[in-house]
Amino acid sequence: MNRSERALGRAEACANIALAKYWGKSEKGDNLTAVPSLSLTLDALRTRTEVEFVNDGALDRAFMQGEEVSGRALSRVTDLLDRIRARGAEKRRAIVTSYNNFPTAAGLASSASGFAALSLAAARAAALALTPGQLSSEARKSSASAARSLFGGFVVLEREADEATPLFPPDHWDVAMVVAVVASGPKPIGSTGGMLHTKETSPYYHPWEQNAPAIFLKVREGVVRRDFEMVAEAMEHSTRLMHATMITSLPPVLYLKGATVELMHEVAARRKGGHHVAYTMDAGPNVKVLTTLAEVEATRDFLASFQGVERVIVCRPGPDASPLSTDGPLLSAPRTDHLPGGGFEAADSSQA
Ligand code: PMV
């Protein structure tokens, strides 16, 4: 069988970082979110995924960073594939191969880029022409933040919305997000479990749910106006409120490390000193610093020289998720939408 007859699909999606956070699921179920969120898609953090439906095999198989996965990691992949299979005629099991060009499960949103890339690659392999909104909905049911990674630039996921919606393309605003990796190991608890636990045990969960929509509106207004100070204040507030609900759970969900908190102080002091910098953290200890393109190098150097920072990754606003050519190896396959690719050329060559 030649390549064109194979039920093969490939896609690439970028991670995203929420400027206005979501944390908590809606009472309506179906993995709908309890609060609205707004994200920036990050061009340097990418997942590439291949899905092939095959004749043999009773179970789906998935390989991430070259290692076969099982248990919950595999069942999350199968759940998404089942929904794609239910939409069309493809009923066979699949082999999934996926690579990130950044540390997995360290609060760098690997589930966001991962499920966005998986939904697009699986739809292509199943020969289904789903809209970006339909793909966003499928990705959301696996990981709500993944709904936003189907789109480039600035993206909104409204409270209880089925799919994310693009707000502005990547060139709307000359900003960058500089990621300071303070620990690249696996996190103590995943976001899904952490959210449930927070909702059940933190006295601050309901105040968070009540305050998050107004903070989201401030972030959105700041992005619309390209007002750095407005976004900086609201984004940091969103981050601290979200982490306050986590930390006040019983037992606590404490992702922040000493270096994280020291960086919060340093970034705040730098902004007071006139620099365009603002911090945010997700379900992990790494600090992502929003800055302007004019200050990106200074921000990178400041973070790289900070004690406790292992690695710095500079991200600019990234593109939509995109199909990849199915010719040649996955890691060197060009994107098929003519948007700038890249990232994987710089990835660890041992992945190939
Ligand atoms: O949807 P999940 O399970 O990837 O959770 C994401 C939660 C945060 O990253 C902490 C916030 C957000 O809005 O992305």
At 300-332, the pLDDT tens digits run 999 999 999 999 999 999 999 999 999 999 998
> pLDDT, tens digit, for every residue of 194-236?
999 999 999 999 999 999 999 999 999 999 999 999 999 999 9
Q: Is 142 in the pocket of ligand 1 (CB under 6 A)?
A: no
pLDDT of residue 40: 98
Q: Rounded to an integer, what distance in angstroms lies between the CA atom of residue 154 and that of residue 80?
A: 25
pLDDT band at 352 (very low <50, low <70, confident <90, very high): very low
With DSSP H G I counted as helix, E B as strand and the rest as coil, what are the percentages for the chain, rounded to 5?
40, 25, 35
pLDDT band at 339 (very low <50, low <70, confident <90, very high): very low
Residue carrying the six token digits 């030649």:
2
pLDDT of residue 315: 97
> If residue 260 lies in a helix (H) or strand (E), which one and from where to where?
helix 258-272
Q: Is 144 in the pocket of ligand 1 (CB under 6 A)?
A: yes
Q: Is 37 in the pocket of ligand 1 (CB under 6 A)?
A: yes
Q: Atom 10 in ligand 1: which residue has the minimum CA distance? A: 282
Q: Is 100 in the pocket of ligand 1 (CB under 6 A)?
A: no
Residue 344: pLDDT over 60? no
Contact by Cβ (8 Å): 303, 317: no
Q: Omega of the bond prior to 188 within 30 degrees of 0, cis?
A: no
Q: Residue 191 CA: which ligand 1 atom is closest? A: 3
Residue 55: pLDDT over 80? yes
> pLDDT, tens digit, for every residue of 146-201?
999 999 999 999 999 999 999 999 999 999 999 999 976 667 788 999 999 999 99
pLDDT band at 338 (very low <50, low <70, confident <90, very high): low
pLDDT of residue 89: 94
pLDDT band at 347 (very low <50, low <70, confident <90, very high): very low
Q: Rounded to an integer, what distance in angstroms lies between the CA atom of residue 234 and that of residue 215?
A: 6
Q: Is 249 in the pocket of ligand 1 (CB under 6 A)?
A: no
Q: Rounded to an integer, what distance in angstroms lies between the CA atom of residue 295 and that of residue 297?
A: 6
pTM, to two decimals: 0.94
Contact by Cβ (8 Å): 116, 133: no
pLDDT of residue 110: 76
Which residues face 54 on adjacent strands?
A: 93
Residue carrying the six token digits 């969900």:
253
Q: Is 192 in the pocket of ligand 1 (CB under 6 A)?
A: yes
More confident residue, 244 or 333: 244
Residue 98: pLDDT over 70? yes
Q: Residue 148 CA: which ligand 1 atom is closest? A: 14
Q: Is 191 in the pocket of ligand 1 (CB under 6 A)?
A: yes
Residue 256: pLDDT over 90? yes
Report the percent of the chain where pLDDT is more than 90. 85
pLDDT of residue 2: 53
